[in-house]
Amino acid sequence: MTTITPFLWFEGKAEEATAFYASVFKDSKLGRIKRFGDYMPGPKGEVMTGRFTICGQDFMVLNGGPNGNQRCLASSAGGVRNGGAARGDRWQGVRDVMQRRREGAGT
């Protein structure tokens, strides 16, 4: 089965947003958090990426800043996974969606 993980882009508020969503929904839990460190593009200690789950649906957050290219987000997020698919095929779902968009078919 193919699953899609929504990827939410923030400008420095990813940690607050993650805590808010987890507080609003009863069936939610916080997941792994990665923080900026020394010599990284964001402020040291600020959340770089994070994960949370609401009612069994995984979400991912990113403090990407105001200059991010959201057009390439689907290909860079790695949010589409094919259950049991061979490693070389796991991006097929992303390629299919992007191809349909180029052809004007929407998502």
How far the first Cα of the chain sits from its last, in Å, is 18
Residues of the chain with pLDDT under 70: 67-101, 104-107
Number of neighbouring beta carbons within 10 Å of residue 3? 12
* pLDDT of res. 28: 92
Domains of the chain, with CATH numbers?
2-102 (3.30.720.100)
* pLDDT of res. 103: 75
Q: Are 17 and 26 in contact (CB under 8 A)?
A: no
pTM to 2 decimal places = 0.60
Strand partners, 51: 60
- Residues 6 or more apart whose CB falls under 8 angstroms from that of 17 comprise 8, 10, 61
